[in-house]
């Protein structure tokens, strides 16, 4: 059919790993997704969910056990789309003995880039990822974050139409993470498609146009981010230090309680604004600190926890 | 678009024609018309190569890049330097034997010198061949490369060429070292031998040294391709062990031939299945003993260029088949 505007399409894509002689393990099972062109697509899931497996299938590094897929309209693994994509692997590895420009020269040559054009591009990219002043370091002298930065530069050499990023902010300092986000947003600005894998939900939420949540090799939920986070017409109160006593008092008013997260923030839900304020007042009266009262738009983290723990996520 | 298709069809027809001519040449080579076997054979090989390039349109730049990266990376491996130093010492040592007669001394020089070049070349070829691809897979550097527009076969061919270029440079260094030693010692020895009436010319002996070194080069090509091919589907250790085993079995290939064709019932009756097995082994094994012409050098038998060419051709063909297999195996690998 080949609709215009779909960068990646998979149909029941499945990878079953062999473990030992008899054992098998589903890396990713029956994945059917469509990634529209020009969007930032986030594939999120816990460790071992099958994110990297999916990426490698899309890159032709792994072969599907069943199902099929297309990248930029070409069948999986075809060398023809590789000139138009970039790939930032998880925990990237490079030739140890080269420095950043040498490494980029090597990869650039694989894209058929040469001479002045290539040198110019390398200088630009090293600047972009903040490695220009450390260009002479050899890879084995790099810190983890420096490797990650070079990995990004390497993936952008050919000005790809579609870029795959596996845990792109892993190992990056806060500045690096912000630069990373700006690079990704800039790519979208220029009409490129970004396929992002991560479990750093807080980083993903503001960036992604569309997400897919996978867990234990299965696709749990997919859709535009607004739809995924939409949680009806209710209101919510976010607060820390909510005591058991408060809970007992508001039991009749709230429609649900999300247990405190790592920062101790609990979410108390109510049907409308009036009830929400009532809840907030009660909690504040008992010494809790109310952070926010507002319409109930869930965070990606909440949706994720719901979905992964198997409680139907809308 | 149509024009492009037309060009594609034309290119394909050209390739097929070239292949047909190549088959004809191979037939002529087999018939050995006027002793031009070598010429026909190499011409056929060249045509097949061009046809393959037209049909498959490999990305030569990528192959070249992978090969040169391999070469520069291999040079940095520590074991390479260790073996190289070891080899140069061995070659130097070959000149320290002052024995009874000049003839024995010359033989010692040739035997130890060429022998150490061969031994060290073999170590390099096997370890480099076995580890090159395995290391890329282990260190996951291959992931990024294969996500680039590089076909897997191009990667394997690049690796193979890089390895062979490295081995060649290595042999060159050892060859030069040996030649220096040889140039110092041989003229006196040959002069002494001529003085006692032995028919022997320095030029011929020198040419033979060159021929022997050339053959080692092609021998190492075969060995490298064995190691690389096995390493595309097995661990590098298995691959190295396999390559060594093949190498030593290949030294004995005529022995297998002997068993396979043994027919003297008065001496012994050989189980037909063993015969069959030996025959298969003989056919499959690279005949490494043909690459070793030291014995001919020691007995001062003539060594003809045609024989060198045939043996080298055997090596090239064998390597080509193996590398093609390696490409196939590697295309099924997952990372
Ligand atoms: N080569 C392999 N052989 C066997 N099983 C594998 C292999 N690679 C991955 N798996 C399994 O497949 C599942 C999915 O792995 P995958 O690497 O895709 O997870 P992930 O979502 O990328 O996780 P993470 O967030 O930790 O990177 C895991 O359970 C893992 O154990
Ligand atoms: Mg992963």
The residue ranges of every structural domain in chain A are 6-229, 234-296
Higher pLDDT, A210 or B38: A210
Atom of ligand 1 minimally distant from the CA of A45: 21
Chain segment B253-299, per-residue pLDDT in tens: 777 777 777 777 777 777 777 777 777 777 777 777 778 777 777 77
Take atom 14 of ligand 1 and give the residue whose Cα is closest: A50
Query: Domain count of chain B?
Result: 1
Average pLDDT, chain A: 87
* pLDDT tops 90 at residue B11: no
**Contact A90 CB / ligand 1 (< 6 Å):** yes
If one compares A184 and B51, the residue with the highest pLDDT of the two is: A184
DSSP states of chain A: ---TTEEEEEEEEEEEEEETTTEEEEEEEEE--EEETT-EEEEE-STTSSHHHHHHHHHTSS--SEEEEEETTEETT-GGGGGGEEEE-SS----TT-BHHHHHHHHHHHTT--HHHHHHHHHHHHHHTT-GGGTTSBGGG--HHHHHHHHHHHHHTT--SEEEEESTTTT--HHHHHHHHHHHHHHHHTT-EEEEEES-HHHHTTT-SEEEEEETTEEEEEEEHHHHHEEEEEEEEEEE---HHHHHHHTTT-SEEEPP-TT-EEEEEESSHHHHHHHHHHHHHTT-EEEEEEEEE--HHHHHHHHHTTS---
- Give B77 or A216, the one with higher predicted confidence: A216
Per-residue pLDDT, B15: 81
pLDDT one-digit tens code per residue, A127-146: 988 888 888 888 888 888 88
State which residues form the domain around B233: 60-251+292-303
Question: Is this structure's pTM higher than 0.90?
Answer: no
Query: Which of A151-165, B115-129, B147-161, B181-195 is predicted least confidently?
Result: B181-195
Mutate-to-test residue for ligand 1 from A49, A214, A218, highest number of ligand atoms within 8 A of CB: A49
Q: Please check the confidence at residue B87 and state whether its pLDDT lies above 70.
A: yes
Nearest by Cα to B170 from B248, B224, B134, B228: B224
Same CATH topology for A6-229 and A234-296? Answer: no
Residue B125 pLDDT level (bands cut at 50, 70, 90): very high
Q: What is the pLDDT of residue B76?
A: 78
Q: Using a 6 Å cutoff on CB, does residue A27 contact ligand 1?
A: yes
Q: What is the pLDDT of residue A297?
A: 77
Higher pLDDT, B205 or A40: A40
Flag whether B14 is in a domain: no
CA dist., res. A209 & res. A226, Å (int): 8
Residue B3 lies in a domain: no
Judged against a pLDDT cut of 60, whether residue A312 lies above it is answered with: no
Instruction: Label residue B98 by pLDDT band (50, 70, 90).
Output: low
Residue B5 lies in a domain: no
State the complex-level ipTM.
0.80
Homologous superfamily in CATH for domain A6-229: P-loop containing nucleotide triphosphate hydrolases (3.40.50.300)
Chain A residue closest in CA terms to B152: A79
Asked whether residue B9 carries a pLDDT value surpassing 90, the answer given is no
pLDDT recorded at residue A271: 83
What is the best residue among A16, A53, A59 to mutate for testing ligand 1's pocket, by most ligand atoms within 8 Å of CB? A53
Residue nearest to atom 11 of ligand 1 (CA): A27
Atom number of ligand 1 nearest to Cα B334: 1
Give the residue from A79, A89, A98, A140 with the most B CB atoms within 10 Å of its CB, the best one to mutate.
A79
For residue A314, what pLDDT is reported? 40
For A108, name the nearest residue in chain B, comparing CA atoms only.
B148
- B155: pLDDT confidence band, cut at 50, 70 and 90? very high
Q: Among the listed ranges A53-57, B56-60, B118-122, B172-176, which one has the minimum average pLDDT value?
A: B56-60
Residues in chain A closer than 8 A to B149 (CB atoms): 79-80, 82-83, 110-112
For residue A139, the Cα-to-chain-centroid distance in whole angstroms is 26
Q: CATH number of the domain at A234-296, out of 1.20.1260, 3.30.70, 3.30.530, 3.40.1710?
A: 3.30.70
pLDDT surpassing 70 at residue A107: yes
Res. B246: pLDDT tops 50: yes
Picking from A19, A95, A108 by the largest number of B CB atoms within 10 A of its own CB, the best residue to mutate is A95
B221 and B322 Cβ atoms separated by less than 8 Å? no
| Beta-carbon separation of B334 and A63 below 8 A | yes
| A14 in contact with ligand 1, CB cutoff 6 A | no
Residue B58, pLDDT above cutoff 90: no
Interface test with B, best of A110, A152, A161 (most B CBs within 10 A): A110
User: Does residue B232 carry a pLDDT above 60?
Assistant: yes
Average pLDDT, chain B: 83
Quickly state the pLDDT bin for A53 (edges 50, 70, 90). Answer: very high
* A310 has pLDDT over 70: no
Task: Find which of B31-35, B46-50, B78-82 is predicted with most confidence, using mean pLDDT.
Answer: B46-50
What per-residue confidence (pLDDT) applies to B18? 84
- Give me the pLDDT at residue A43, please: 93
- The pLDDT-based confidence of B4 (bands split at 50, 70, 90) is low
- Residue B164 covered by a domain: yes
Look at residue B72 in the predicted model and tell me its pLDDT. Answer: 86
Cα distance from B156 to chain A (closest Cα, Å)?
A: 14
How far is A62 from chain B, CA to nearest CA, in Å? 5
Task: Decide if pLDDT at A252 tops 70.
Answer: yes
The beta-carbon neighbor of A95 closest among B73, B147, B149 is B73
Question: What integer is the mean pLDDT of A188-198?
Answer: 92
Does any domain span residue B32?
no
**Residue A35: predicted pLDDT:** 93
**Distance, CA A51 to ligand 1 centroid (Å)?**
8
């Amino acid at each position: 059919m080949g609709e215009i505007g779909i960068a990646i399409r998979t149909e029941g894509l499945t990878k079953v790993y062999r473990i030992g002689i008899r054992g098998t393990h589903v890396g990713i099972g029956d994945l059917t997704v469509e990634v529209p062109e020009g969007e930032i697509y986030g594939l999120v899931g816990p460790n071992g969910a099958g994110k990297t497996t999916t990426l490698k299938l899309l890159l032709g590094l792994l072969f599907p056990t069943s199902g099929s897929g297309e990248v930029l309209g070409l069948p999986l693994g075809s060398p023809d789309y590789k000139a138009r994509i970039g790939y930032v692997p998880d925990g990237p590895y490079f030739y140890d003995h080269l420095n950043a420009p040498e490494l980029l020269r090597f990869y650039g040559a694989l894209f058929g880039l040469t001479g002045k054009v290539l040198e110019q591009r390398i200088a630009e990219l090293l600047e972009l990822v903040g490695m220009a002043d450390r260009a002479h370091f050899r890879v084995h002298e790099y810190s983890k974050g420096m490797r990650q930065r070079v990995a990004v530069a390497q993936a952008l050499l050919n000005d790809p139409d579609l870029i795959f990023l596996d845990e792109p902010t892993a190992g990056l300092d806060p500045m690096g993470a912000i630069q990373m986000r700006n690079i990704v947003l800039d790519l979208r600005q220029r009409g490129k498609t970004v396929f992002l894998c991560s479990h750093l939900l807080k980083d993903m939420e503001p960036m992604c146009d569309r997400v897919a949540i996978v867990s234990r090799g299965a696709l749990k939920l997919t859709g535009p981010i607004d739809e995924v986070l939409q949680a009806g017409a209710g209101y919510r109160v976010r607060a820390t230090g909510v005591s058991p006593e408060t809970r007992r008092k508001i039991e009749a008013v709230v429609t649900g309680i999300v247990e405190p997260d790592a920062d101790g923030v609990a979410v108390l839900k109510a049907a409308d604004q009036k009830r929400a304020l009532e809840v907030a007042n009660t909690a504040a009266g008992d010494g809790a600190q109310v952070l926010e009262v507002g319409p109930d738009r869930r965070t990606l983290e909440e949706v994720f926890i719901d979905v992964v723990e198997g409680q139907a996520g809308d | 678009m149509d024009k492009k298709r037309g060009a594609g069809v034309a290119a394909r027809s050209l390739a097929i024609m070239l292949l047909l001519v190549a088959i004809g040449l191979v037939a002529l080579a087999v018939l050995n018309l006027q002793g031009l076997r070598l010429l026909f054979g190499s011409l056929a090989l060249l045509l097949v190569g061009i046809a393959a390039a037209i049909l498959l349109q490999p990305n030569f730049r990528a192959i070249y890049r992978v090969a040169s990266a391999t070469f520069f990376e291999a040079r940095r491996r520590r074991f390479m330097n260790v073996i190289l130093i070891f080899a140069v010492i061995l070659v130097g040592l070959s000149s320290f034997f002052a024995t009874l007669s000049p003839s024995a001394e010359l033989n010692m020089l040739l035997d130890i010198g060429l022998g150490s070049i061969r031994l060290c070349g073999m170590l390099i070829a096997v370890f480099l061949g076995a580890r090159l691809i395995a290391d890329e897979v282990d260190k996951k550097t291959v992931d990024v490369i294969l996500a680039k527009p590089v076909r897997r076969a191009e990667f394997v061919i690049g690796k193979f060429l890089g390895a062979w270029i490295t081995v060649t440079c290595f042999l060159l260094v050892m060859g030069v070292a040996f030649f220096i030693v040889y140039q110092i010692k041989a003229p006196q020895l040959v002069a002494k031998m001529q003085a006692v009436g032995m028919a022997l010319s320095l030029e011929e002996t020198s040419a033979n040294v060159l021929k022997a070194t050339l053959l080692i080069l092609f021998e190492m090509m075969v060995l490298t391709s064995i190691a690389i091919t096995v390493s595309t589907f097995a661990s590098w250790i298995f691959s190295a062990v396999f390559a060594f085993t093949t190498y030593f079995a290949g030294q004995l290939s005529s022995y297998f031939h002997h068993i396979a064709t043994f027919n003297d019932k008065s001496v012994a009756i050989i189980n037909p299945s063993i015969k069959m097995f030996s025959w298969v082994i003989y056919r499959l094994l690279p005949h490494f003993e043909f690459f070793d012409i030291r014995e001919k050098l020691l007995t001062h038998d003539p060594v003809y260029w045609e024989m060198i060419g045939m043996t080298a051709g055997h090596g090239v063909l064998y390597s080509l088949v193996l590398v093609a297999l390696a490409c196939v195996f590697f295309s099924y690998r997952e990372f």
